[in-house]
Amino acid sequence: MAIATLIAAGRLNDRLVDRALAQLREVDPKARFLQWIDEGDAVDLQVDTPTNAARWALDGLPEVDVVVQPEEHRFKRLLVADMDSTMVGQECLDELADFAGLKREIAEITERAMQGKLDFKAALRERVAMLSGLDEGAIRQCLAERVVPNPGAATLVRTMRVGGAHCILVTGGFVSFAEPIAKMLGFNAIRANRLLFDGSQLSGSVEDPIVDAQAKLDALVEARGELGLDRDQVLAIGDGANDRLMIQEAGLGIAYRPKPALAEVADACLNHHGLDALLWAQGIRRKDWVSG
């Protein structure tokens, strides 16, 4: 058995649910209504068909985010989340580059890397080298003035923590950003790159080893093993090509406003709602959310 969760906050009505059931019954005649999680916001349907078939059947529902997963281990005990353009709405390195007058040039490299068109490590080293000589104070100013969590980020993390989940922020970005962001949102731990300094200025280098797609996957696998969890108990979320490996390894891999390279391998895409919608996907009613 599997659960198909439909999420359309504030506009999920019987008509839309009936349409979804009709589409599901094309691949599973026994598909049925299971329960409202929060009436008008999120609903569970039950299906007895491979999850990929159910996802295909529900594709195209207008402004509805759909998550299909096995019933067992629905609440996840490990969250592994990307930072830039996932937990926060910005690419921190691009915003930092603006303080050096190089945002356009560096953002172009970032976008190509996130699309999977450039080697991530080489692209990271190239961008950091361009910021050589930038004062350390620019990082603090960038954090204070530019970096904003995405809607629902803190609520997702804090609610999962209250439920007993371990939450890790993994990023190809930098400790200088990841540590304060993780503290702000409530993560247990981080895995991030470390910028090198020459006095109070960026040296233009980054410490090895670089956190890339493989390092993100390794962080997930290590934490899962340390916690003694099954694959199905892990939720991973990201937006770009360097999140592919961890998204594929997670029991539930979510692509948030994703680049095509990630959307094609994810279990579900979150295109219309904030990150707290992933609490509905885990069967948690709004009254039980811990506000961020």
Q: Which residues are catalytic?
A: 82, 84
Question: How far, CA to CA in Å, does 119 sit from each of 74, 126, 163, 231, 237?
Answer: 35, 11, 38, 28, 21
Helices and strands in the chain: count of H runs, count of E runs: 12, 12
Placement of tokens 């067992």 in the chain: 72
Question: How far, CA to CA in Å, does 255 sit from each of 85, 142, 251, 264?
Answer: 11, 26, 13, 9
> For residues 95 and 146, what is the distance between their CA atoms, to the nearest angstrom?
7
- Dmax over CA atoms of the chain, in Å, equals 68
> For residues 131 and 174, what is the distance between their CA atoms, to the nearest angstrom?
14
Q: Which residues pair with 270 in a beta bridge?
A: 256
DSSP 212-236: -HHHHHHHHHHHHHHHT--GGGEEE
Q: Are 55 and 70 in contact (CB under 8 A)?
A: no
Q: Are 49 and 30 in contact (CB under 8 A)?
A: no
Parallel, antiparallel or unpaired: strands 234-238 and 78-81: parallel
Placement of tokens 């979320």 in the chain: 237
Residue closest to 96 by CA, chosen among 62, 133, 143, 50: 143
Tokens at 222, concatenated: 């290590």
Tokens at 72, concatenated: 């067992």
